[in-house]
Amino acid sequence: MRAASTLESLLLRAGGSLLSGAGTHASLLVLIYHRVVRERDPLLPDEPDAATFAAHMDLLAAHFNALSLSEAVARLARGDLPARAVCVTFDDGYANNCEVALPILRSRAIPATVFVAPGFLNGGRMFNDTIIEAVRRAASRLDLHADGLGEFELPDAAARIGAIDTIITRIKHLEPRARLAVADRVAAAAGGNLPTSLMMSDAQVRALHAAGIEIGAHTMSHPMLTQIDLPTARAEILSSKRVLEEMIDAPVRSFAYPNGRPVRDYGPTHVALAREAGFDYAVSTAWGAATMRSDLLQIPRIAPWDRTPLGFGARMLRAYRQRSFAHADGTLRPSHVPG
């Protein structure tokens, strides 16, 4: 991703200041990443490689006010947030957050928050990664009729991406144990040894914390909260906070709803659980920016998919205008469609 031109830089700063506002009229933009891979991965087209992520962070450092999530939320609530305020967050707890992203962040003095699902640390693997890695290793044909998923011809990367998307979409809202069982059967059908080093170790989580990265909770095993009963949801949320606090020997103040789409993936009951657990703020994947009127337990975020500085910056500017739809009284309105 090339650097922004002088004209693009002026547009980003002027447009960002105008659209984001400041003080009591400010909006806060929170970016959501998952992985930062060392080299471009054809089966993970939406995950930035190190060079693309570094370019994203260069653009933030040059043209926006990158804040820690804790500082940004406090200043939003006080009404003294600066113009062009932005936060960087990561979900799930991938090892490359520590190995690849951290050096890039530190060299540019950009703070970040990593939301960790501790049930997958130390050699675990999320169900979606089991699917991705199984399809990566599968032969040119993958027969999944036994689970009602059909058969996939896999002649190239595009076909494998299509198979991955279809399988994950079909099973992602299953009850967590059923979802994991299906993923394991897909892996068995594909054959091949799957990696056990995708997620962080406890030591890497502690290393992030020691480096000044804020650690947030993301449940223990990343269930869709609407697909599990209330006692299980409460245990998932409370346990993730407790385990991480013991791990880093510090309070864990923030939470990210798994998958994070309001109504479909979590609802007002789960917002109440996050409040009950003692979280000060929480993030969703609803599209847009937060304002002083937003519920701080339902902060929206955007995914930065663009590979050019102008496209990346333009997406951010559009998002500043898409204000949060979640309110403190627990009411939810449909989110804006991502641009």
Residue 53 has pLDDT above 50, yes or no: yes
pLDDT band at 315 (very low <50, low <70, confident <90, very high): confident
> Does 257 lie in the same domain as 220?
yes
In a domain, 333, yes or no: no
Q: What is the pLDDT of residue 156?
A: 97
> Does 93 lie in the same domain as 30?
yes
> Does 113 lie in the same domain as 131?
no
In a domain, 331, yes or no: no
pLDDT band at 328 (very low <50, low <70, confident <90, very high): very low
Q: What is the pLDDT of residue 334?
A: 40
Mean of pLDDT values over 104-122: 98
User: Is-contact 93 120, C-beta < 8 A?
Assistant: yes
The DSSP-derived string for 97-124 is: IIIIIHHHHHHTT---EEEE-GGGTTT-
Q: What is the pLDDT of residue 61?
A: 93
Distance CA 175, CA 167 (A): 15
Distance CA 320, CA 167 (A): 34
Distance CA 170, CA 276 (A): 32
Residue 333 has pLDDT above 70, yes or no: no
Task: Tell me if residue 135 falls in helix, strand or coil.
Answer: helix
Q: What is the pLDDT of residues 78-88, one digit of tens each?
A: 999 999 999 99
Distance CA 259, CA 279 (A): 18
Which range (183-192, 234-243, 258-267, 327-336) has the least confidence?
Answer: 327-336
> Does 22 lie in the same domain as 150?
no
Mean of pLDDT values over 45-68: 93
> Does 317 lie in the same domain as 174?
no
> Does 38 lie in the same domain as 81?
yes
> Does 175 lie in the same domain as 136?
yes
In a domain, 64, yes or no: yes
In a domain, 1, yes or no: no
Distance CA 10, CA 234 (A): 47
Which range (17-31, 128-142, 322-336) has the least confidence?
Answer: 322-336
Q: What is the pLDDT of residue 3?
A: 56
Q: What is the pLDDT of residues 152-192, one digit of tens each?
A: 999 999 999 999 999 999 998 888 889 999 999 999 999 97
pLDDT band at 109 (very low <50, low <70, confident <90, very high): very high
| Separation in Å, CA 267 to CA 57, 263, 264, 274, 297 | 33, 5, 8, 11, 11
**Angle in degrees, 0-180, between the axes of helices 268-277 and 230-248, rounded to the nearest 10:** 40
pTM of the model: 0.92
In a domain, 332, yes or no: no
Question: Which has more confidence, 4 or 121?
Answer: 121
Tally of domains in the chain: 2
Q: What is the pLDDT of residue 217?
A: 98
Q: For the chain, give the mean pLDDT.
A: 90
Which range (164-178, 185-199, 258-272, 306-320) has the least confidence?
Answer: 306-320
Q: What is the pLDDT of residue 19?
A: 77
> Does 89 lie in the same domain as 155?
no
CATH number at residue 68: 3.20.20.370
**Angle in degrees, 0-180, between the axes of helices 127-137 and 157-171, rounded to the nearest 10:** 150
Tell me whether strands 29-33 and 113-116 are parallel, antiparallel or unpaired: unpaired
In a domain, 61, yes or no: yes
Question: Which has more confidence, 189 or 6?
Answer: 189
> Does 34 lie in the same domain as 95?
yes
Measured over the CA atoms of residue 221, residue 126, residue 124 and residue 241, the dihedral's sign is negative
Report the DSSP beta bridge partners of residue 153. Answer: 141
Q: What is the pLDDT of residue 130?
A: 97
> Does 263 lie in the same domain as 136?
no
- Quote the percentage of the chain above a pLDDT of 70: 92
Q: What is the pLDDT of residue 336?
A: 38
Is residue 206 exposed (0-12), middle (13-18) or buried (19+ Cβ within 10 Å)? middle
Which range (11-15, 30-34, 196-200, 242-246) has the least confidence?
Answer: 11-15
Distance CA 84, CA 70 (A): 16
Residue 174 lies in domain? 127-190
> Does 226 lie in the same domain as 133?
no
> Does 210 lie in the same domain as 79?
yes
